[in-house]
């Protein structure tokens, strides 16, 4: 499906299969609300509109999946950010923490945030958070066509190092 250096495949996946296959990613369903060059405005299930880079030709009204890597999400105090959610779980990993965040109308998102020693920057389960993301981080892909079998197509991915 895609040949290249590991970081190129991870950062610039050719399609939704590669984005999902290589590393963790959040997949959000939406509809193309507007087009502008290499960017699309995507209306998510909860009505939030975000800008995403398109990875294939898309048209207004088309169903898309938006890929957001957990490390591209930023968490802040409730009130700022594109999306609002509630921390459902936190796994402390020393230098980082992984969060499961429930966003009403969208579902659960995985976020990975740096832990800063000596600073109380960890969010607790049950705490409301605002979720932002780096510009250019969301990637929009056409939603895969389901042939009724619920089986993924057989693809081949090769990572060169």
Lowest mean pLDDT segment, chosen from 14-18, 32-36, 102-106, 113-117: 113-117
Q: Which two tokens stand for residue 55?
A: 């990875």
**pLDDT, position 120:** 66
Question: What's the burial of 75, exposed, middle or buried (CB within 10 Å: 0-12/13-18/19+)?
Answer: buried
Round to whole Å and give the CA distance between 2 and 156: 8
58 with 21, same domain: the answer is yes
86 with 107, same domain: the answer is yes
54 with 77, same domain: the answer is no
Domain range for 144 is 1-69+137-161
Using 50, 70 and 90 to split pLDDT, how confident is the model at 19?
Answer: very high
- Average confidence (pLDDT) over 101-122: 85
CATH (domain of 21): 2.40.50.100
Angle subtended at Cα 23 by Cα 17 and Cα 28, rounded to the nearest 5 degrees: 60
Using 50, 70 and 90 to split pLDDT, how confident is the model at 151?
Answer: very low
- Average confidence (pLDDT) over 104-113: 93
CATH (domain of 112): 2.40.50.140
The pLDDT > 70 percentage for the chain reads: 86
SS3 116: coil
96 with 119, same domain: the answer is yes
pLDDT at 147 over 80: no
Domain total of the chain:
2
104 versus 121: the higher-pLDDT residue is: 104
User: What is the residue-wise DSSP string for 79-104?
Assistant: TBSSEEEEEEEEEE-SSEEEEEEEET
**pLDDT, position 136:** 85
**pLDDT, position 114:** 85
34 with 57, same domain: the answer is yes
75 with 11, same domain: the answer is no
């Amino acid at each position: 499906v895609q040949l290249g250096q590991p970081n190129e495949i991870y950062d610039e996946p050719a399609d939704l299969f590669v984005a999902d296959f290589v590393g963790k990613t959040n997949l959000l369903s939406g509809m193309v609300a507007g087009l502008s060059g290499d960017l699309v405005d995507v209306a998510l299930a909860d009505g939030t509109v975000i800008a995403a880079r398109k990875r294939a030709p898309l048209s207004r009204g088309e169903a898309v999946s938006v890929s957001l890597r957990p490390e591209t999400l930023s968490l802040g105090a409730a009130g700022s950010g594109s999306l609002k959610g509630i921390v459902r779980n936190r796994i402390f990993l020393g230098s980082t923490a992984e969060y499961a965040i429930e966003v009403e109308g969208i579902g659960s998102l995985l976020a990975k945030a740096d832990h800063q020693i000596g600073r109380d920057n960890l969010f607790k389960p049950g705490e409301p958070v605002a979720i932002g993301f780096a510009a250019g981080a969301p990637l929009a892909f056409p939603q895969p066509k389901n042939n009724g079998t619920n089986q993924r197509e057989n693809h081949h991915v090769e990572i060169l190092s």
